Amino acid sequence: MTPRTRSGAAALAAVLLAAATGCAAGDRTPGTPTATGKPPQRPAAPGAASAPAPFTLVASGDVLPHDSIISRAAVDAGGSGYDFRPMLSGVKPVVSAADLAICHMETVYGADGGPYTGYPAFKSPPEIAAALKETGYDSCSTASNHTLDDGAAGLRRTLDTLDKAGVRHAGSARTAEEAARPTLLKAGRATVAQLAYTYDTNGFPLPEGQPWAVNLIDEQRIVADARAARKAGADVVVVSIHWGTEWQSDPDDRQLTLGRALTASRTGSRPDIDLVLGTHAHVPQAYEKVNGTWIVYGMGDQIAGDMINYEGSRDGRGNQGTLARFTFAPPTSPGARWQVSRAEFIPQFFDTVRGKVVNLNAAIRKGERQYTDTRDTIREVVLGRGAARDGLVMGE
C-alpha cells in the first residue's frame, strides 16, 4: 500500500493558495544542446576509429501523483488540462545534461479526459509522459505495486502514452514478444540495458493469459535477463527494482540479500549487472558499493503529495529523495566492464506548498537556507552504509 495524502477540497484549496502566494560530465562537445535537450556527442575525426567515451547516467525515484498533485497540475495548466512540467523544472538542468536519464513511473495513466484518481488505485493524467520527456528523461521503469491498478487496459494505455511521448520503458509489457526484449538505450556510443522488476502488484493478479505483463522479482530470472541483455549488445546493464519496506530508511534483509546476490553474479570475470537502482520505500535509503557494483537501495519519492505514514502523521521524509548520477568510463581492456569513475547523489525535495521538485544544493547556494536541515538529513541517510569510503560524493 501507498500512504494516503490529504484529499479533495483541502488539497485543492492548499494548491490554489500556494499558486496565489507565491558534475561530472561525459565526453561532450560544447555548444547548444540537441533537440532532445541532451548534450551533442563529439564526432570522431575523419578516418579515426570510433573510440567509446565516458557517459553520465542520472536516475530518480517514484513519480507518484496523488490527488493533490493532480490538482496542482490542473492549476499549472491554467485550467485547461494538466501541466507537470513546472513541477519538474527544478531538476531539469541535471536531468537534461545527462547522456542517459532514467525515472520511475509508479502509476498507470487514465484515459484522455479522465477520470483521474490518486491513492489507493491510481489513474494519472497522461500529460505526465510529455513532462518527463521535456525534463530530459529517456526511459522509465514501469514495474511497481501499482502497475495493475487499472488492469491490463491501464498498463497498455501507459506504455502507449510513453511511446507517443518518446520515453522508453522497462518492467511491464503489452505482448510476450515485448516482454522478452530487453530495453536497450544509447548513451553516447555505449549501449545500456534497463531491466525492471517489482516485489508485488498489491494483490492484483496478472491479467489472464498474460504472465509476462509485469516483471516480478526473481533472482534467477533477473540474472538470466541480464545475461541475455549482454548478449543482445548491452555494454552496461542497469536493474531498476521496486523493493524494500515503506517508511524504513535502512534497507531490509531482502534488499541486502538480493543486492549481494545480484552484484555477485558474473559471467567469466565480468559482472552480469553494473548498477542497481531501487524505488518504493518512499524515503531516501543508502547507496552502497557491493561486490564492486553500486546499489542505490532507495531514491525516495520525486513527486508525491503530503505523505501520511503508518502512524497517521504527515511525514516529510515522503517528499525527500535523491538524483543518482554515475559516470561510466569505457573498458581499459577488451572484455572488461565499463567502470563507474564518479558516483554522486544530489538531494532533492518535493515542496508541496510551492508544487515543485527542489534541487536542494542548488537552492541553498542561492540563499534558500530553509532547506539546509532537509539536505543534511538526506545526506546522513545516503552515506549511512559507508559509501563515502568508496568515493560517493554529494553533487549539485
Residue-level pLDDT at 38 = 66
Chain centroid to Cα 240, Å, comes to 8
Q: Provide the 3-class DSSP secondary structure of residue 8.
A: helix
* Strands, E assignment, 30-147: 55-63, 100-105, 139-141
pLDDT value of position 79 = 82
Does residue 3 register a pLDDT over 90? no
Q: Are 149 and 202 in contact (CB under 8 A)?
A: yes
What pLDDT band is residue 256 in, cutting at 50, 70 and 90? very high
260-306 pLDDT per residue, tens: 999 999 999 999 999 999 999 999 999 999 999 999 999 999 999 99
Q: What is the pLDDT of residue 40?
A: 57
Q: How many CA atoms lie within 13 A of 340 on its CB side?
A: 26
Dist. CA 85–CA 123, nearest whole Å: 18
| Distance from C-alpha of 135 to C-alpha of 129, rounded to nearest angstrom | 10
Task: Quote the DSSP letter at residue 365.
Answer: H
Spatial contact of 326 and 26, defined as CB atoms under 8 Å apart: no
CATH superfamily of 53-394: Metallo-dependent phosphatases (3.60.21.10)
- If you average pLDDT over every residue of the chain, what do you get? 90
Residue 195, H or E segment: strand 190-198
Task: Report H helices in the chain.
Answer: 8-20, 67-76, 85-88, 92-97, 127-135, 151-165, 176-180, 219-231, 253-264, 360-365, 372-382
| pTM as predicted | 0.89
- Is the pLDDT at 28 greater than 70? The verdict is no
- The mean pLDDT of 314-330, rounded to a whole number, is 97
For the chain, give the percent of residues with pLDDT over 70: 87
Q: Closest Cα partner for 39 from 28, 25, 48, 52?
A: 28
Q: Is pLDDT of 109 > 70?
A: yes
Residues ≥6 apart with Cβ < 8 Å to 128: 63, 65, 82, 84, 105, 109
Average pLDDT over residues 48-55: 77
Q: Are 173 and 213 in contact (CB under 8 A)?
A: yes
Give me the residues paired with residue 328 across strands.
55, 340
| Per-residue model confidence (pLDDT) at position 39 | 59
Q: Is the pLDDT of residue 23 over 80?
A: no
Please, what's the largest Cα pairwise distance for the chain? 66
